Chains A and B, each alone.
Chain A
């Protein structure tokens, strides 16, 4: 008879091992995976920022290109984590059956999806950092505190990962993600203060924007870039914390039912 010591790997190790799985798969095809989402904000920056910037004087007291660059720092984090935890997760769940394999290892459903959310957070960090480096080189982002914006990218990644996982637990077919992207993510991209200041908007839109997660990310990123901190930023952080906890918890609860009969 074989004697086995029954020592299940620790919670931290299990989460890390799931994170490491995603990391390994992602870095296998780094260029094709990472280049488009990295290029996206730069295209917007050049296409809109430089072009339109000539006609727009200042926005919220800074040049338009600086205003736009500081907002675009976090939008990539949103897109990349939303894609990862919608299409990516759905394919792993329904087509590749990746979780069926993982759940047979000493991992719980909680370990699997928490590790996945944290991976999306890391991607958020990484992408905000990459965009930051480029815009720094062009001199569009001032302020030493802007070096902390990757952490805002991470928070953004965590928020959109948890939200997308909840959507993934609801959709029946992969095409239904169009509702998420066309109906929610794309409008948010335009109405969260990245392209234009929300200050001049009608009150209804202002209120609506406060419900959108990206609005809070953008405000945090700008606070760091331009050194304008206010009590509102505490509320932004609180919003993010509540959002991640709530949707993260809900997503694990719902996705558990998808991998355990």
Chain B
């Protein structure tokens, strides 16, 4: 049985439709990712899960989270969930320990247990030596990890992460991914939004690509790449160098995408791309496997929309 069921959910802000007729299910202990450009409605969808945003009052719309409807029982859902919001919101005045201790009060966790859990989780997130530090002494990556610790204090069944690694260095990102994998193994269900295709690819069992409040694609990231985009990409860094290709291209086996300065040819036929590239110098191009980012750009477009 799915831990989250969303059916026909809409959310409007005045004239703007942030989320449009959205449905999906999340299975227990899965990592479920939302991808999409800024303004696609990812955060709004997440907020509706834990009652930070109220869905439009449409008769046919349903949200069930661990058996509860956020419209009626938001406190029960929040008791069983941990939330890492997009923006850091730690109490700058207080120490690491105090920040966490205050949150254990909100959950009604007994003092002795709170202290034990804080130590364990700081250890888990490799922040044990920062226990008594002030928030403003922490780096961006430490703050982010601390907020994850805060979201884990109540031993949640569901962990909601809104862009958990945006703006962090690779070491911290990999550390956070590793911890997320570990939590998943322990049976925690994870819901996350991200701009990093690599992140979705590394840790998500299932993703939804959203655009303009609507679902564009849904599925396992590996399957999506296998089924919705050509296998290989020939990327030419400087468009001028691709002039020698003109006239040689068979549009039946190749798809072209270009920006102002760059051009990419996609195909399932690796040999064909290699042959095509022969007329260029070695440093002017490279051939690689298509990735989630290619798929993302294919489905949501290369150009910016007005919300980005």
A and B associate in one complex? yes
B52 CB within 8 Å of chain A: yes
Nearest-CB distance from B166 to chain A (Å)? 15
**In the complex, what's the smallest C-beta–C-beta distance from B141 to chain A, in angstroms?**
19
CB distance from B304 to the nearest CB of A (A): 24
Known: A1-B28, A1-B29. A106 touches B79 (CB 8 A): yes
Interface residues on B, range: 35 or more
Query: Any chain B CB within 8 A of the CB of A60?
Result: no
Q: Which chain B positions have C-beta within 8 A of A8? A: 75-76, 79
Tell me the nearest residue of chain A to B160, going by C-beta: A104
Q: Smallest CB-CB separation from A17: which chain B residue?
A: B105
Residue-wise, chain B 59-90 has the 8 Å CB interface mask toward A (1 for contact) of 00000000000000011101111010101111
Contacts of A97 in B (CB 8 A): 85, 87-89
Contact A21-B13, Cβ < 8 Å, known A2-B155, A6-B79, A261-B44: no
Which candidate, B92-100, B193-201, B202-210, B222-230, is the interface stretch facing chain A?
Answer: B92-100
Residues on B with C-beta less than 8 A from A108 are 74-75
Flag if B98 contacts A9 (CB, 8 Å).
no
Interface status of A260 (Cβ within 8 A of chain B): yes
Chain B residues 98-151 with CB under 8 Å of chain A are 98, 102-103, 105-108, 150-151
| Sample of 16 more A-B contacts, CB < 8 Å, known A4-B80, A105-B103 | A1-B29, A4-B79, A4-B155, A4-B157, A8-B75, A13-B108, A17-B105, A24-B98, A28-B93, A98-B89, A100-B85, A103-B52, A104-B151, A107-B106, A260-B53, A261-B53
Least Cβ–Cβ distance between A107 and chain B, in angstroms: 6
Known contacts: A13-B108, A24-B102. The answer to whether A6 contacts B51 by CB under 8 A is: no
Contact B52 A104 (CB under 8 A): yes
- B: residues with CB less than 8 A from A are 11, 13, 28-29, 44, 47, 50-54, 74-76, 78-81, 83, 85, 87-94, 98, 102-103, 105-108, 150-151, 155, 157, 186-188
Query: In the bound complex, what is the Cα–Cα distance between A98 and B91 (angstroms)?
Result: 7
In the complex, what's the smallest C-beta–C-beta distance from B261 to chain A, in angstroms? 38
Contact surface of A with B, Cβ cutoff 8 Å:
1-2, 4, 6-9, 13-14, 17-18, 20-21, 24-25, 28-29, 96-98, 100-108, 259-261
Q: B107–A25 contact, CB under 8 A?
A: no
- CB of A20 within 8 A of CB of B78, answer no
Contacts A9-B108, A105-B107; is A261 near B74 (CB within 8 Å)?
A: no
A21/B89 contact (C-beta < 8 A), A6-B80, A261-B13 known: no
CA distance A7 to B188 in the complex (A): 19
B85 pairs with A104, CB closer than 8 A = yes
Q: How far is the CA of A261 from the CA of B19 in the complex (A)?
A: 13
Q: Which residue of B lies closest to A261 (CB)?
A: B53
Of B28, B53, B93, B106, most buried by chain A (CB within 10 Å of CB) is B106
Q: Which residue of B lies closest to A96 (CB)?
A: B89
Tell me which of A7, A29, A100 contacts B87 (CB under 8 A): A100
B74 neighbours in A (Cβ, 8 Å): 108
